[in-house]
Chains A and B, each alone.
Chain A
Amino acid sequence: DVKVTQSSRYLVKRTGEKVFLECVQDMDHENMFWYRQDPGLGLRLIYFSYDVKMKEKGDIPEGYSVSREKKERFSLILESASTNQTSMYLCASSLRGGISDTQYFGPGTRLTVL
């Protein structure tokens, strides 16, 4: 079975802190994604990566950056956390960039910024 793991289930940070969210997948998937999930807003794409060291902005990249140094690992970075970044963060991976590639999600990290 595909497994996508996220480094923390719950995280509490202070405003202005630099925050790292880590995601690891074990199925050799080329594509990896970071979403945030907020009530009433659904899943919004922050960034995605289709290969090592490659990254593309999603719909809401402001205030975030990403890093993909190894194929299995995709990190989301909040350079200076703000209270409006309190959210559930979901990582996903998929095998190919073409049609019908299923995205497999991790369990999510609930981040609270105080």
Chain B
Amino acid sequence: QQQVKQSPQSLIVQKGGISIINCAYENTAFDYFPWYQQFPGKGPALLIAIRPDVSEKKEGRFTISFNKSAKQFSLHIMDSQPGDSATYFCAAKTNSGYALNFGKGTSLLVTP
């Protein structure tokens, strides 16, 4: 059973536009929410992460928005660039757990 639901499965955005990927979860024990970025032929790498004590975290053009009451979080990529074309995974983890629960991934294509 998928503990983290991610949408959309694929996304096409024009250069300069905003890319938005959404994730939802049910387990209220989750308290760490990272996003991973994966380029073709590479393993995923941590992009940005948030804890539920804040509603937003920004790193450069990448922002996580977190809505604890709705049990949803999203990744916003501002001024999207062709180099951002990759697969993005959201994930969630409990404080006591070892493993990350990943969403199914979103394939982002940024067109020139």
Q: Which residues of B contact A31 (CB under 8 A)?
A: 98
Q: Give the B interface residue count (CB, 8 A).
A: 25
Q: Which residue in A40, A43, A56, A98 is a CB contact (below 8 Å) of B44?
A: A43
User: Of all chain A residues, which has the CB nearest B45?
Assistant: A105
Counting contact residues on chain A (CB < 8 A from B), the size range is 20 to 34
Q: Which residues of B contact A12 (CB under 8 A)?
A: none
CA distance in complex: A44, B2 (Å): 10
Indicate if the CB atoms of B99 and A98 lie closer than 8 Å.
Answer: no
CA distance in complex: A6, B14 (Å): 36
Interface presence of B12 (CB below 8 A): no
User: Of all chain B residues, which has the CB nearest A92?
Assistant: B43
Q: Which residues of B contact A4 (CB under 8 A)?
A: 43
User: Of all chain B residues, which has the CB nearest A38?
Assistant: B104
Q: List 16 A-B contacts (CB under 8 A).
A: A42-B103, A43-B44, A45-B100, A90-B43, A92-B43, A94-B98, A97-B97, A98-B95, A99-B31, A99-B32, A99-B93, A100-B49, A102-B34, A103-B100, A106-B43, A107-B41
Report which B residues bind A (CB closer than 8 A). 2, 6, 9, 31-32, 34, 41-46, 49, 51, 89, 93, 95, 97-100, 102-105
Given contacts A4-B43, A99-B31, A108-B43, 11 further A-B contacts (CB under 8 A): A42-B2, A42-B89, A42-B104, A43-B102, A45-B99, A48-B99, A56-B98, A92-B43, A97-B98, A99-B32, A102-B49
Report which A residues bind B (CB closer than 8 A). 4, 31, 33, 40-45, 48, 50, 56, 58, 90, 92, 94, 97-100, 102-108
